[in-house]
Amino acid sequence: MPLTTSSTREIPETGMIPRHIAIIMDGNGRWAKKRFMPRVAGHKRGVETVRTAIKACVDRGVEYLTLFAFSSENWRRPAEEVTFLMQLFISVLEQEVVKLHENGIRFKVIGDLSKFEPKIVEFICNGEALTASNTRFTLTIAANYGGRWDVMQAVRKMLQQHPELATCFDEKDLMQYFALNYAPEPDLFIRTGGEKRISNFMLWQLAYTELYFTDTLWPDFDAQALNLAIQSYQQRERRFGRTSEQLQMASSTKELQEIAAERVVKFQ
């Protein structure tokens, strides 16, 4: 069954460590340009940063990491850069998926795969099948993905299976058809590279996600940079539409319930 719940319908459980982090990995080209290197060198270095981010998230107890690797608008980039990115994607799939599997990590790709060459689609399908039973951590790569595409494809799938919903449906009917229906909504969104926008990424799922923007370019985003993002998250008051007073009252009630439960256990 899909794990997704809606933060606009239910108040999710939260903790000091975000359960799900979503990242727009921006700044590879500028990182390379600052070093008088071709843009593609920045993309290659960015792959190393992905490895660092995965390890850092696992070490800190994060359960889900979703990375925006290639948007549906990135096809507008220079043809030679797009070609290199596709070749890099194949190389990464060939070299990294087995390592992910050996470390108990589930690998998923979300996005419209119809534009990718069959070899890439085959690698994706094989990688997802190989790692499907892993539960330690879930890495999702968003490739040829767009938030608006996600909403549209979800509506289409829902209506194909349930045409009777064409005149009346709600969030609960639709949510199971989103590409990321196996994961909770992100707790923390990070964008590197200094830009302050979400660029058509997970438009539905980011409704109550905490947003964090940093000037750090993606190839320089290390474990300490992740710590700073998580520290910022820990300072946020996640109200989900409630007042601060309601939040404090709920926290006090929870503490009292936990104390009472401990006493019951001791008594037994």
pLDDT at 259 over 50: no
Q: What is the pTM of this model?
A: 0.86
Catalytic entry in 28, 74, 126, 173: 74
Quick: pLDDT tens for 106-145. 999 999 999 899 999 999 999 999 999 999 999 999 999 9
Quick: pLDDT tens for 17-56. 999 999 999 999 999 999 999 988 999 999 999 999 999 9
Quick: pLDDT tens for 13-28. 778 999 999 999 999 9
Among left, alpha and beta (phi > 0; psi -120 to 50; other), residue 85 is alpha
pLDDT at 164 over 90: yes
How sure is the predictor about 1, in pLDDT bands with cuts at 50, 70 and 90?
Answer: very low
How many angstroms separate the CA atoms of 251 and 243, rounded?
13
Helices (H) and strands (E) in the chain, counts: 8, 6
Amino acid found at 123: F
For the ranges 12-21, 169-178, 190-199, the maximum mean pLDDT occurs at 190-199
Answer yes or no: 74 catalytic.
yes
Answer yes or no: 215 catalytic.
no
Catalytic entry in 26, 28, 144, 187: 26
The two three-digit tokens of residue 198, written as one number: 């979400």
